[in-house]
Amino acid sequence: KKLGLVYCYNRESYLQLARCEDVWSSLDRSGEGEVVPRPAAYFFLTGLRSSHSGVFHPDTVGPKDGLVVYKIVFLSHESAYNSGCHNACAELYTKSFAADEQGRLNHHRHDGLGCECVTSYDSLRVVGVVDRAETKEDFQGIFSADILPGAVFSDEVYLQTQHRCAAAIAAVKLDTGACRLVTRSQDRSHFLIGAGQGKLVVATSAPGSPPKAKLYATAGGMWREVAGQSPSFEASVPEGGCSVTVREHEGNFDSILIRPAGAAAGAAKDAVILIPHGGPHSAHSSQWVLYQEFLVSLGYSLLLVNYRGSVGYGNEALLSLPGRVGDQDVRDCVEALDACLEAEDGLGRACVMGGSHGGFLTLHLLGQHRSKFECGVVRNPVTSIAGMVSATDIPEWCYCEALGAGTRPRCFGPTAEDLDRMLRCSPIAHASEVEAPTLWLLGQEDRRVRPLAAMDYIAALKAKGLPLKTIVFPKDSHPLSSPQTEFESFINVAWWLGRHLGKQK
């Protein structure tokens, strides 16, 4: 299999360097029509098993003695590679190399790798892994997948990262590694969508408030909006249709409660929908999300839980989950739900909904805490890790999350003990306890969590005579994100919720 980095930064990755003219003329002709191949790109070895998102620093040194020294700024997910967790805390590095004044690279043959490599200087770590921040307001680490080329300046680089319940912008000093959060609010998120000429384009949104793009200048280390130059457009949806409460919980995790307000308050129901995120190493952010706005407009309150193991809370909290899935994350979701129902007036009933690992948790909650939920909705859920491990494109996920950080796939497949542990932490181990009606949304082309695995669980529910509905989208895969599928999914979700949660009690 050729396995890529999308959502999987635990996999090995390397940088390569190429001169543009070499890419277009990678075949030299010599002699009588003989074709002599030469590399279009050279490996840029960093000494790390994870190196990606390389961006040129804007400054060079030289020419001196006929050489120009260039610097590359790049990310490394070495912690993800070592632990097996798909999206552990990243590190920021720089590394330099020299070329002559015509841009020709100095390269050599690496006997161990059997490839041509650029001769370069040692890698320098600018920001390392943040295991645990001193306070909840401090920088929690780099949880980012890329660097925007225009966001690297002479003395600092700007990154988008997850900071607890919000996507935030962070500035990193390249000489000292000092990190500061430029945006700190937990009730709204900021996304870095463009950069160049000393300016950044940032999209800001919050539940009930659609995205707005603003232009910021960063001269002299200052962060200020450029007056009169930000893009402007009229939002096509009304603002102020909800209220947002971010609640901190013991054990270093949070939840976001979104309730109908303003024009939507009159349709408010007494039901809350618990939505655990997928991953499990991702996070909910306080931002405008289409399907969430749709559900709030129908009168439902939403409880988004960033259980322990989510990104944005330091690497120690993230690494606490592998080997404890189906237990620790389930307990965190229940704690958040109980705190919500106790603190909020007008809420007395609950539903649970999630996709992928969020679907895994949805089924666990319906089985382990059946008295708390009146119905459930799952989108391409993991029903059995034991059944998934030999059929998925991410077998390493099954080993790491079920057996613990650092556990790698066996050469000849999982042992009987491995399969037993995988089964015990899976939702199907509790299928006999489920009593709530469930809606299943599956992608026929899903290669990550194959839809066939869900059929055993569905058959078990049918054998009990429980109400359920299964919809299979023939051309969709794991995300269920094509426009038509997304539309049909949430029309059916609205119908399902209306049928089982629509009446006030």
Q: Which residues are catalytic?
A: 356, 446, 478
Q: Which residues pair with 260 in a beta bridge?
A: 242
Cβ count within 10 A of residue 145:
16
Q: Is 345 helix (H, G, I), strand (E, B) or coil?
A: coil
> Residue 18: how many CA atoms within 13 Å on its side-chain side?
13
Distance, in Å, from the CA atom of 86 to the CA atom of 325, rounded to the nearest integer, reads 14
Give strand pairing partners of 197. Answer: none
Which DSSP string do the residues of 162-229 spell out, in sequence order?
A: EETTEEEEEEEETTT--EEES---SSSEEEEEEEETTEEEEEEEETTEEEEEEEEE-GGG--EE-TT-
39 by Cβ neighbours in 10 Å (0-12 / 13-18 / 19+) ranks as middle
Distance CA 4, CA 116 (A): 22
What span, in angstroms and rounded, lies between the C-alpha atoms of 38 and 22? 9
- Residue 161, both tokens: 């990262």
Start-to-end CA span in the chain (Å): 53
User: Is the separation of the CB atoms in 185 and 140 below 8 Å?
Assistant: no
Q: Residue written as tokens 């603003």?
A: 214
Which amino acid is residue 78, in one-letter code? Answer: E
Give the angle subtended at the CA of 307 by the CAs of 415 and 443, to the nearest 5°.
65
**DSSP 8-state symbol, 313:** S
